[in-house]
Structure 1
Amino acid sequence: MSPPKYRTILADPPWDIEQKGKRGAQEHYQLMTLERIKGMPVSELAADDAHLWLWVTNATLRHGYDVAEAWGFTVRSPLTWVKFRLGLGNYLRNSTEHLLFATRGKAPVQFHSQPTWVQAPVQDHSHKPEEQYALIERISPGPYLELFARRRPPHSLGQPPWHVWGNEIHSDIYIPGYPVPDEPRDAKASPVAITAAAAATVPETSSNQTLEGGTP
């Protein structure tokens, strides 16, 4: 089965940079090295004209640009999540995270009034704001894919359902070399395998189709 082509991809990698120790992310989930993250075949999942939304911490901000480039995207702007509470930090106390917005091909935005910050409540560890999905759907076209997902995104009326991939959720796609718990043995036969159920919900995307909207 041919791999799908997603016009918008959201990713929240489990960075191993400055995340070790008793209060680090390694206490909550398995981490990945920068090279492993950069090596993911995300470019094979994305349409020729596509958007990428990539979560980074203050410690991984510059590495996020490298990851986006390795995946075939160019970062256009960071969107900063303002938490309004003191976090951890060796020098300054972290109270923000950033969602890098990147594009490839002819990929204008659908909404032009989004500022470069968003305020949302902090929940449990690494739980990103639920508001991210509505924000992304307002700016970027579907079909949508979330990488490193931990829960299935809500389905908005009039939007295609999100597909997900990750260790903590039933995945809709399988990426060879990056196994997830429910991956079938024959998933490695394809560059990017997709479940039959997921394939039925992915609309066809023309490789030379221009996304609606204006310039970023």
Structure 2
Amino acid sequence: MLRLQDEARVARLRPVAGRFLTLAFDPPWEDESVSEGQRPPYATMSVDALRAMPVPAWGLDEGHIYIHAPGPFLAIAIELAGAWGYDFKTVIGWKKPHFSMGRYFRTIEEFVVFGVRGGLMVRRQDLPNHFAGPVGEHSEKPEAFYDLVRAASFPPYGEGFQRQARPDFTNLYIESPSMAVAAE
């Protein structure tokens, strides 16, 4: 039921106009290999739908991209970075404080694909390729991730599939006006 409500909410969203030096995405991966009870309580997207997003238009000629990916989607996240016009550079690890479930191994880490467009270097060269942080609600990312992005990459920041508003990260999707308002 929650997923159906979220699908209705998502249908009302439209992409913002704007260009950003840094983009962050936590894609709502569609995973048909898990049972209905294991699927997330929100709308998901196929890889083709993700690939079709207007990410190239949001990115400036030089910039950074961060794409969250659980292990089974890591290769796809790297492919998406390329499809969106970014060169894959490295994988960043999120070390979680405790094990979660997994298909082959118990998972204690999630990954973030980091890509670059136009050769833009990071702001600092002393940053590790991992961060530690608590696990929140389903798909919620810890503040430590955003701290790493701020330390490594340049504003303005755009975020797709934002779970929590942050003043320095623009949500890349906004609600469309209702039909009544749009008709006026």
- Short-chain TM bin: 0.7 to 0.9
User: Using the alignment, how far apart are the partners of 1:77 and 1:42 within structure 2?
Assistant: 19
TM-aligned CA deviation for residue 23 of structure 1:
2.1
TM-aligned CA deviation for residue 54 of structure 1:
0.6
Is the partner of 1:59 in helix, strand or coil?
Answer: helix
TM-aligned CA deviation for residue 56 of structure 1:
0.4
Aligned-residue CA RMSD (Å): 1.9
Give the TM-score of the pair, scaled to structure 2. 0.82
**Corresponding position of 2:139:** 126
Give the alignment of 1:98-137 within 5 angstroms: 98-137=111-150
TM-aligned CA deviation for residue 112 of structure 1:
0.8
User: How many residue pairs end up in the alignment?
Assistant: 163
Q: 1:147 aligns with which of 149, 160, 177?
A: 160
Taking a change above 3 Å as real, the CA distance of residues 20 and 112 of structure 1, as seen in their structure-2 partners, is farther
**Corresponding position of 1:24:** 39
List 4+ stretches of structure 1 deviating above 6 A.
none
Give the TM-score of the pair, scaled to structure 1. 0.71
**Corresponding position of 1:213:** none
**Corresponding position of 1:60:** 73
Unaligned runs of 5+ in 2: 1-15, 180-184
**Corresponding position of 2:98:** 85
Q: Is the Cα contact below 8 Å between 1:39 and 1:70 reproduced in 2?
A: no
| Identical-pair percentage | 27
TM-aligned CA deviation for residue 20 of structure 1:
4.5
Is the partner of 1:52 in helix, strand or coil?
Answer: strand
Greater percentage in helix: 2
**What one-letter code is carried by the residue in structure 1 that aligns with 2:37?**
K
**Corresponding position of 1:165:** 172
User: Using the alignment, how far apart are the partners of 1:16 and 1:138 within structure 2?
Assistant: 31
Q: Is the Cα contact below 8 Å between 1:75 and 1:102 reproduced in 2?
A: yes
**What one-letter code is carried by the residue in structure 2 that aligns with 1:96?**
E
TM-aligned CA deviation for residue 89 of structure 1:
1.5
**Corresponding position of 2:13:** none
Is the partner of 1:30 in helix, strand or coil?
Answer: coil
Unaligned runs of 5+ in 1: 156-160, 172-181, 187-216
